Chain A
Amino acid sequence: DVKVTQSSRYLVKRTGEKVFLECVQDMDHENMFWYRQDPGLGLRLIYFSYDVKMKEKGDIPEGYSVSREKKERFSLILESASTNQTSMYLCASSSHRRTTYEQYFGPGTRLTVT
């Protein structure tokens, strides 16, 4: 079974703090994704990566950066957290060796910025 894990289920941070969210997958997937999910807005893609050290901006990259130093690990960084970044953050992974694009999600991190 595909397993995607995220470093925290719940996180509370203060405005201006630097926040790191980590995601690890154990299926040797090439692609990894970071989404945020807000009521009424659905899933919105922040960044994705299709290989180590590679990254592509998604729909809402502003205020975020990412790092992928190892194939299994993809980190999302909030450089200076703001209250409008309070959200559910979801990591996902997929393989492009199989051209089916199925994505598998981690359990999510609910981040509150106060």
Chain B
Amino acid sequence: QKEVEQNSGPLSVPEGAIASLNCTYSDRVSQSFFWYRQYSGKSPELIMSIYSNGDKEDGRFTAQLNKASQYVSLLIRDSQPSDSATYLCAVAPYSNSGYALNFGKGTSLLVTP
């Protein structure tokens, strides 16, 4: 079973701070990595994809990937109360039957005004 691990939280940060969300995965040959945001009672929404080592920035979001350490993170700069949600990490294995993703259970983020 391919594992994707996330701290469940809640992670509480003050408004304007940087929120750092972490994810580790067990399948060393995984190729594609995703972050989804899920508001309470809603479905997951894709916010970041990353495929190669290093950083990828999109607005206030930065995804970081380190394949050697099997670690992917999401940084949210200038956190806003509207960022309060659960963030799911997802990983696409290299040997993929049917293109299914492996999801972590998510980290709950609370941004306090």
Residues of A within 8 A of B (CB): 31, 33, 40-43, 45, 48, 50, 56, 58, 90, 94, 96, 100-108
Q: Does B75 reach chain A (CB closer than 8 Å)?
A: no
Query: Chain A nearest CB: distance from B80 CB in Å?
Result: 23
Chain A residues closer than 8 Å to B106, beta-carbon distance: 42
Nearest-neighbor residue (CB-CB) of B106 within chain A: A42
> Total interface residues on B, using CB and 8 Å?
23
Bound Cα distance A54, B95 (Å) = 19
Provide a sorted-by-A list of 13 A–B residue pairs whose CB atoms are within 8 angstroms.
A31-B98, A31-B99, A33-B100, A40-B105, A43-B103, A48-B98, A56-B97, A90-B44, A100-B49, A101-B99, A102-B32, A103-B34, A107-B43
Q: Is the CB of A101 within 8 A of B92?
A: yes
Given A42-B88, A102-B46, 19 additional A-B pairs, CB 8 A: A31-B99, A42-B104, A42-B106, A43-B44, A50-B98, A94-B99, A96-B99, A100-B49, A100-B51, A100-B92, A101-B32, A101-B99, A101-B101, A102-B34, A103-B101, A105-B44, A105-B45, A106-B43, A108-B43
Q: Does B82 reach chain A (CB closer than 8 Å)?
A: no
Over the window 34-78 of chain B, the binary record of Cβ atoms lying under 8 Å from chain A Cβ atoms (1 yes, 0 no) is 101000001111100101000000000000000000000000000
Q: Is the CB of B46 within 8 A of A104?
A: yes
Q: Does B109 reach chain A (CB closer than 8 Å)?
A: no
Nearest-neighbor residue (CB-CB) of A58 within chain B: B100
Chain A residues closer than 8 Å to B104, beta-carbon distance: 42
